[in-house]
Homo-oligomer: A and B are copies of this chain.
Amino acid sequence: MAELKGNDENVVFVGDKPVMNYVQAVVTQIGEGAEEVVLKARGRAISGAVDVAEVLRNRFLQDLSIESIETGTEKLEGESGTVNVSTISISLGRR
């Protein structure tokens, strides 16, 4: 899972780097004209993705709104077999 650069159009995969790294990635994409940016995260990083969305809305892009939030479950192949991991997808757009 590419950490910072979303490999899909305007997707930022949130991992365990500092929140500000991802905030910066979104600010850059919006600055380059993106109408919508989607934050995606799995497992423990889900809290970080919510932090990123909230910091963006409160401090950097006050006109940014959360368009939708979806959760899901992915099956990951681990050493000890298949494990379920929760996922979140937060769509951010400009009002």
Pairs across A and B, CB under 8 Å, 27 listed: A43-B47, A44-B44, A44-B47, A45-B47, A46-B46, A46-B47, A46-B50, A47-B47, A47-B86, A50-B71, A50-B86, A50-B88, A51-B86, A53-B71, A53-B86, A54-B71, A54-B72, A54-B73, A54-B84, A54-B86, A58-B73, A58-B84, A66-B71, A69-B69, A69-B70, A69-B71, A71-B90
Complex alpha-carbon distance, A58 and B86, angstroms: 11
Copies of this chain in its oligomeric complex: 2
Q: Which residues of B contact A54 (CB under 8 A)?
A: 71-73, 84, 86
Residues of chain B contacted by A86 (CB below 8 angstroms): 47, 50-51, 53-54
Chain B residues within an 8 Å CB radius of A43: 47
Interface residues on A, range: 20 to 34
Residues of B close to A44: CB separation below 8 A: 44, 47
